[in-house]
A and B are shown apart, each in its own frame.
Chain A
């Protein structure tokens, strides 16, 4: 379970394994996360099960969405003192290039943190960070 203890441990150590093990959907798509100083880079490994279009082949657009959505939630949680999973309100996603059958990365940026709502930008890329395959923004409700 994503208990406050696990979140505190993750925040302090930068070791995301325990937290990600507690989220079945993260395991399902294979999401991992690394911390570099204060920066978080999320990683979606190449995985046959994540494919949609079999011709290219390409990662299912929904998986790219789910990967970015979960990345944003984890990013937000780690940047808060409040150790609770934020609730997603809405999610807007632009697909810029086909997500090919290879490793995908994502990084997030907190655009605005209000009292109750936070706005997060997410960018996903494969070969080069300067050529994103998708960009997204999401609103989260911070509770408690």
Chain B
């Protein structure tokens, strides 16, 4: 049987993964789009993550978490089987503050996958082409066996 991974399967796997992350649930992060090329996540606006109550702009930390989550989940779209990949490093450049009352999106790509390392790029935006922050990251591949099988099965779902 060929292991055909569809985009809806990718979306389901990433959603299941994100739902196991307490902080991502607390922030209300959800999947917008998942395909072989990229993953788009959404962070809704919320008063609890505001960094400056005067401007009501959300704190950069919430954007960092959104981009770390997107970059750390995009390998689910890129790899045939689920592997938990710890973050080695992240570099975030902040272009402009996010506008209040509107969601922030993060589009991540795994632009290079090697035996040991995954290299990612991620862009946070509210309007297409109007970047809020850019992020590059590297993630380590510790192998799928490093993740307990019940957890891998949970992410893979009943489709395996």
Contact = CB atoms under 8 A, between A and B. Distances in A.
A2 B94 contact: no
A49 B26 contact: yes
Q: How large is the interface on B (under 10, 10 to 19, 20 to 34, 35 or more residues)?
A: 35 or more
A98 interface: yes
B100 interface: no
Given A25-B59, A65-B65, A65-B68, A94 B21 contact: no
A62 B22 contact: no
- Most chain B CB inside 10 Å of its own CB: which residue of A48, A61, A85: A61
A114 interface: no
Q: How large is the interface on A (under 10, 10 to 19, 20 to 34, 35 or more residues)?
A: 35 or more
A19 to B, nearest CB: 12
Contacts of B69: 52, 60, 62
- Secondary structure class of chain A's binding surface, majority of residues: mixed
Nearest to B56: A24
Interface of A: 1-2, 22-25, 27-29, 48-55, 60-63, 65-67, 69-70, 85, 88-95, 98
Interface of B: 20-24, 26, 47-54, 58-62, 64-69, 72, 84, 86-94, 147-148, 151
18 contacts: A2-B54, A24-B49, A24-B50, A25-B50, A49-B26, A52-B23, A52-B69, A61-B68, A61-B72, A65-B68, A66-B61, A67-B61, A88-B60, A88-B94, A89-B93, A92-B90, A94-B88, A95-B89
